[in-house]
Amino acid sequence: MSVLDRKTTIVLLSYNNLELVRKHLPVILETTKHRNDVSYVVVDNGGNDDLEGFMSEIYPGLGFVRIEENHGFTNGYVQSLAEITSDNYVLISSDIEVENGWFDQAVDLLNSADDIAAVQPKIKSYDKRDEFEYAGAAGGYLDIFGYPFCRGRLINHVEADTGQYDNIEEIFWASGACLFIRADVYHELGGLDNDFFAHMEEIDLCWRIKSRGYRILFQPESTVYHMGGYVIKYGSPQKIFRNHRNNLIMLIKNLPASELIWKLPIRVILDYAAVLSMLAEGNARGAVVVFKAHWQIISRWSKWWSKRRKVQKLHRIRHPQGLYPGSLIWEFFVNGVRTFDKLRYKEF
């Protein structure tokens, strides 16, 4: 098949977000109506807002998947993508607003070469339109200890978008808020890990993609706006728990053995430093869930190690492009670095 003949399915995932679907779906349809290579599926991820009734009445011609019980963001895609036959997927959250050109530029880049497995658009803040958004910005990376960061966002500092990252760039991970991905690669590498429930599942998948030898690119000419924290609020105990737990699972699965043996203990120590910081700020609930996250790692170690054995068999490249060789924590809290372009290492 020619790369120009690939068909794409836009998969819009919603959990009790009928009003957002009502607002954002028409724009998705309007901005892609000129294409004859696009289909649409809306996924009701176990909600109780009668999204199915709305779709059958207003959009009876669109695909619809109803998941009876919610088992997380990840499961919504795991179940629905198993039912969707396509060459490419666009995984898009219901709290994403798109603008003209968002689809064409990104999907055409995805289809431009067989070694391109995924593409991320520019993700900007829904509320602060001149700023990048936390979960993706201008493409993601990992530091030496597995901390995620973006062009346009380090730790909790988000940059204004002044065009400073308006170049097509190879990145390490693409945000799951709006992810263009080849279906064959997605399924070849096992797709999203259902045990993540939510948070960092796309980074885990992207690590497998990169380690298999594929490229992931950022397309600045495609722009979307993300509400961010709409379902699980930033800084909530649930988010803290899943971020800490899932990040450690990801490291166990993907790091080479020679690095896992020393990086994992350091990460645990850094987690306890975060606990002390939370306690100093009066966030006792946040501190408690970090211990809960660690207990799930210890108590289910055999499960995570079994996943590791399977994933390691897929890896072809030990150190794919996009892994930062320094410590983001050191750069941010000790050196005072606040923007991507000021990081010590420039090529990674």
Is residue 245 within 8 A of residue 239, CB to CB? The reply is no
Instruction: Judge whether 89 lies within some domain.
Output: yes
How much is the pLDDT for 70? 93
Is residue 240 within 8 A of residue 194, CB to CB? The reply is no
Percent of the chain surpassing pLDDT 90: 95
Model confidence pLDDT, tens digit, residues 76-105: 999 999 999 999 999 999 999 999 999 999
How much is the pLDDT for 228? 80
Is residue 340 within 8 A of residue 151, CB to CB? The reply is yes
Do 115 and 217 belong together in one domain? yes
Model confidence pLDDT, tens digit, residues 248-272: 999 999 999 999 999 999 999 999 9
pLDDT band at residue 143 under the 50/70/90 scheme: very high
| Mean local confidence (pLDDT), 198-205 | 97
Instruction: Judge whether 306 lies within some domain.
Output: yes
Closest to 307 measured CA to CA, from 248, 259, 243: 248
Do 163 and 256 belong together in one domain? no
Instruction: Judge whether 343 lies within some domain.
Output: no
Do 113 and 259 belong together in one domain? no
How much is the pLDDT for 347? 87
- Share the mean pLDDT of the chain: 96
How much is the pLDDT for 309? 98
How much is the pLDDT for 231? 62
| Mean local confidence (pLDDT), 119-132 | 98
Closest to 264 measured CA to CA, from 172, 143, 140, 146: 146
DSSP 8-state symbol, 331: I
How much is the pLDDT for 229? 67
DSSP 8-state symbol, 226: E
Do 219 and 263 belong together in one domain? no
pLDDT band at residue 1 under the 50/70/90 scheme: very low
Return the number of other C-beta atoms located less than 10 Å from residue 62's C-beta.
16
Start-to-end CA distance of the chain, whole Å, equals 33
Do 173 and 304 belong together in one domain? no
Model confidence pLDDT, tens digit, residues 16-35: 999 999 999 999 999 999 99
Do 11 and 85 belong together in one domain? yes
Do 123 and 217 belong together in one domain? yes
Give the total number of structural domains in the chain. 2
Do 250 and 300 belong together in one domain? yes
- Say yes or no to pLDDT of 132 above 50: yes
Do 133 and 210 belong together in one domain? yes
Do 56 and 187 belong together in one domain? yes
Radius of gyration of the chain (CA): 19
Query: Following DSSP, what letter does each residue of 91-141 receive, concatenated?
Result: EEETTEEE-TTHHHHHHHHHTT-TTEEEEEEEEEESSSTTBB-TTTTT-EE
Q: How far is CA 122 from CA 75, 98, 101, 150, in A?
A: 25, 10, 12, 11
Domain of 195, in residue numbers: 3-226
Cα distance between residue 48 and residue 129, in whole Å: 31
